[in-house]
Structure 1
Amino acid sequence: MLNRRQLITSLALSATVLALPAPGLAQPAPTTRIVVPFAAGGPIDVTARILAEAVKGTLGTVIVENRPGAGGNIGVGAVAKAAPDGLTLGIATTASHGINPWLFSKLPYDPAKDFAAVTQMLRVPNVLVMNADAAQRLNINSLADLITYAKANPAKLNYGSGGTGSAGHLAGEMFKNQAGIFALHIPYNGGNPAQLGLLSGQVDFNFDNLATAAPNIRSGKLKALAVTTTQRAAAMPDVPAISDTLPGFEIDTWWGLVVPAGTPVETVRKLNAAFTEALRSPEVKARFATLMAEPAPSTPEQFDAFMARERTKYERVVKLSGAKVD
């Protein structure tokens, strides 16, 4: 018979053997996370969750982690400091990788050096909208009409945005510069208050996200004069592009996937293949369409070059606007 010490030793060895993986059995894949630098429920969060679900057959479990704050800087900074093992991806946006480097005096990351691009996810057109009653009263039916009115009536127009340095503010400054007009900027505390200000007639026009503005455009409360992409938006093909009137005008909302710098190239390629395949799938395209979003899968090199061009563009626009956040 076994004595007490032998019995304990035997049980411990048995437990160790049971804890070891059986030979030939695959180990569960590690969990991949996508860090969204904004709160849950917004379009960036929603599209990240759509993609996380779409790639689970290829990458295994993919979770979305929301790290909001400081205009996206907190979440993006966390991605920059994460291990470069391909298990942490972040969402790079117009703000974090285009505008913020010039808007903020100090950032917790370097957009050019701290990340490796994976793929662009999508582009969402912005749209120049007027209060429909104001447009009718001023007899403005097109972008050319708005420019003509502004030149004939200097300092009589104003426009709203979600805040100083926001995409809507910068689009307005870029428009004023290229059109050679003046309109007073009225900053609101967020996109929703800015839209309410437009609907109530406090301001004359805004540059808004097409997905946000679409319900009020369709109801007739807002008049869409032009979209800010170089081509017409598939969701509203009857609305012309600003570039039809002001050649070269292009300013829209985009976001995509990045990983920490130093992530192995073969890992980046694997992630790119999984996410671009998902972005091209009919199911993902259909779900993005409900948000007025157009999938924009790309190679890592294409997305990296695109973000570099955006930084160059926004450096000029932010300086033009005079916006600064310390």
Structure 2
Amino acid sequence: MSRDARIAAPRRSLLAAAGVALLARPALAQARPIQLVVPFAAGGGTDIVARHFANAASRFGTTMVVMPMPGGGGARGSRYVLDAAADGNTLLFGTMGSNVLTPMMNDVGFQPDSFAPVAIIAATTHVFCVAGTSPIQTMTDLLAAARRRSVSYSSAGVGSVGHVLMEVFARRTNTEFLHVPYTGSAGALAAVLGGHVDMTLPTTGSALPSIRDGQIRPLAVTAANRSVEAPDIPTTREAGVDVLVANWRGILAPPGTPAATRSALTDLSRRIVADPEFVRQASHAEGEPPIFVDGDGFGRQIAAEMAEYRDVIATMRRT
């Protein structure tokens, strides 16, 4: 996963460059609406950003229909797109979790590099959270607690970003945590709110409502810079732990999609990321502004993440 800098550092310059490119151009040619498959449940963070993306596409003359298709940590929806016709009419709104970590953790019928990368359009960070009533106030308190007793944490499932992130965190801090997997991020967050586990690692955007009403306490955000939506939360580096995570959300096409079709989709994605309304909506949903990385850069990002997490995933617990 990227060190956060690989994705997020060029955010402002990318947006500026994309804004210059926002000129009148013909819409993407299409005989029918594009199916934009989200490999997670409706209403989650990925689904919300995908719907904002589809709405923005319509402002550029392209019709997209968002299709939530949860199951298997993102594998079900991904396989659906993998087997679809390579004509640009079926696309995957994937994430690092569904399309890098899941296939590296399990035999799901595809590999991280099985798809044709079109563009990264957003990258969400995660935040270490405890209940608002927890005695744990800081990352230092969290580490001290883990060295005294068993500290539990919830995740969106085995092999999810939160699960892998905690494995990396535990190894770098020489600590151990009890993993309690759920079937999605909503259940993982509810487990902390209900007092069933000590902590969780939701995406920053999904955690903000509960942070703002005091139900959960943020300890640190996994980014090089503080969130624009929650500037009071320290970064992991400021908290003394070098764990950076930027979980991308990107457009992937079936293998064999023609270069001209991919190029048109990449261009559309670039214009959407520069669209002021999409920037506003995505920033509110993610806790961070959207970003743009083209297909070539996206491919390099996937290759870098495969190399970075290969050893960790090969030796981590599957529970």
Judging changes above 3 Å, is the alpha-carbon distance between structure 1 residues 29 and 193 closer, same or farther for their aligned structure 2 residues?
Answer: closer
**Displacement of 1:247:** 5.5
Return the letter of the residue paired with 1:171: L
Q: TM-score, normalised by structure 2?
A: 0.82
State the match for 1:310 in structure 2: 305
Count of aligned residue pairs for this structure pair:
289
Q: 1:176 aligns with which of 170, 175, 199?
A: 170
Q: Distance in 2 between matches of 1:223 and 1:39?
A: 26
**Residues in 2 aligned to 1:66 and 1:202: alpha-carbon distance in whole angstroms:** 29
Q: Partners in 1 of 2:261 and 2:188 — Cα distance?
A: 42
SS in 1 for 2:31: coil
How far the C-alpha of 1:115 sits from its partner, in A, is: 1.5
Secondary structure of 2:133 counterpart: helix
**Residue type of the alignment partner of 1:316:** D
User: Which of 151, 154, 157 is 1:160 aligned to?
Assistant: 154
1:258: Cα distance to partner? 1.1
Q: How does 1:103-252 map to 2 (within 5 A)?
A: 103-104=105-106, 106-112=107-113, 114-135=114-135, 140-151=136-147, 153=148, 155-246=149-240, 248-252=242-246
Q: How far apart, CA to CA, are the structure 2 residues paired with 1:53 and 1:133?
A: 39
2:72 equivalent to 1:78: no
Which ranges of structure 1 fall in alignment gaps of 5 or more residues? 1-27
Q: Which residue of 2 aligns with 1:271?
A: 265
Q: SS at the partner of 2:109?
A: coil
Shift, 1:51, TM fit: 1.8
2:141 partner amino acid: D
User: CA offset at residue 296 of structure 1?
Assistant: 1.6
Match of 1:7 in 2: none
Please, what TM-score do these two structures have when normalized by structure 1?
0.80
Deviation at 1:316, TM superposition (A): 3.1
- Give me the whole-angstrom Cα distance separating, in 2, the residues matched to 1:284 and 1:29: 22
Query: Counterparts of 1:58 and 1:251 in 2: how far apart (Å)?
Result: 32
CA distance in structure 2 between the partners assigned to 1:67 and 1:206 by the alignment: 24
Distance in 1 (CA, whole Å) between partners of 2:184 and 2:53 is 27
Q: Does 1:322 align with 2:309?
A: no
Conserved? CA contact 1:99–1:315, under 8 Å:
no
One of 89, 112, 115 as aligned partner of 2:91: 89
- Stretches of structure 2 that go unaligned for 5 or more consecutive residues are 1-28
Equivalent in the alignment of 1:43: 45
CA contact (8 A) 2:104 2:112 kept: no
Instruction: Give the drift of 1:189.
Output: 4.1
Name the CA distance, whole Å, in 2 between partners of 1:53 and 1:197: 33
> With CA pairs under 8 Å and 6+ residues apart, which has the higher RCO, 1 or 2?
2
CA 84–164 in structure 1, closer or farther in 2 if over 3 Å, else same: closer
Change (3 A) 1:147 1:273: same
Whole-angstrom distance in 2 between the partners of 1:210 and 1:282: 21
Percent identity, aligned pairs only, is 30
Q: Which has the larger radius of gyration?
A: 1
Residues 54 and 278, structure 1, Cα contact 8 Å, conserved in 2: yes
- Of the three residues 283, 287, 290, the one matched with 1:289 is 283
Structure 1, residues 11-58: CA drift from partner, whole Å, max 9, x if none?
Answer: xxxxxxxxxxxxxxxxx8412322222233322222222222222354
Q: What is the CA distance between 1:239 and its match in structure 2?
A: 1.0
* SS in structure 2 at match of 1:278: helix
TM-superposition CA deviations, 1:188-235 (whole Å, max 9, x none): 343333323212333222112222222221122221110112322111
Q: Distance in 1 between matches of 2:30 and 2:186?
A: 41
Alignment counterpart, residue 54 of structure 1, candidates 53, 56, 59: 56
Is the Cα–Cα contact under 8 Å of residues 35 and 65 in structure 1 kept in the other structure? yes
